[in-house]
Amino acid sequence: MPLTISDITIYATKTDAGATVEYYDSSSNLLGSGPSLAVPNLAIGWTQINVQVTADDGTVQDYDVNIDRR
């Protein structure tokens, strides 16, 4: 992504209405939860956001979003 873009929003669409969505940084710190996450002041270089979806039955699925800002 070009340097001119410094803010992004990640949107997660869930197929299970009872599922929860949480967003974590690469150090496993919780950044937020819900259908979207605004990421202001995106760092130059690589940024990894982990999207963790937990179903009603407790099943957890992780997705990684990797952003390269140059």
Percent of the chain with pLDDT over 70: 100
For residue 27, being part of any structural domain is answered with yes
Which domain covers residue 34, as residue numbers? 8-69
42-57 average pLDDT score: 96
CA nearest to 7, candidates 42, 57, 54, 58: 42
Structurally, the chain folds into a number of domains equal to 1
CATH number at residue 65: 2.60.40
Query: Is it the case that residue 1 has pLDDT exceeding 90?
Result: no
Model pTM score: 0.91
pLDDT tens digit string along 16-39?
A: 999 999 999 999 999 999 999 999
Q: On the CB side of 27, how many CA atoms lie within 13 Å of its CA?
A: 2
